[in-house]
Amino acid sequence: MEELVSKLAAFIATDILKQPKRAIRADEALISSGLIDSFSLMDISLFVEGNFGVRIDDTELNAETFDTLEQLAKLIQSRQ
């Protein structure tokens, strides 16, 4: 789980936020805090599908599924 969170955090910090030194905690709110916007969810979804072989349905692109790295890592683990 830590490895998943680390990879997701690095992608979001570097590619989405354009702040490669930004540390993102596993339990930090991403969407509900306004750190990332809804447009970024598609990029994250494509990253997850391409790197972890997990399919993310369009209906899952929301704060209930993607609000923390921990939530997203659990979703990935449950589908691998």
pLDDT at residue 65 tops 90:
no
Gap between the Cα atoms of 21 and 1, Å rounded: 21
Q: What is the mean pLDDT of residues 67-72?
A: 94
Containing structural domain, residue 53: 2-79
5-62 per-position pLDDT tens digit: 999 999 999 999 999 999 999 999 999 999 998 889 999 999 999 999 999 988 888 8
Domain count, the chain: 1
| Domain at 75, CATH number | 1.10.1200.10
What's the whole-model pTM score? 0.90
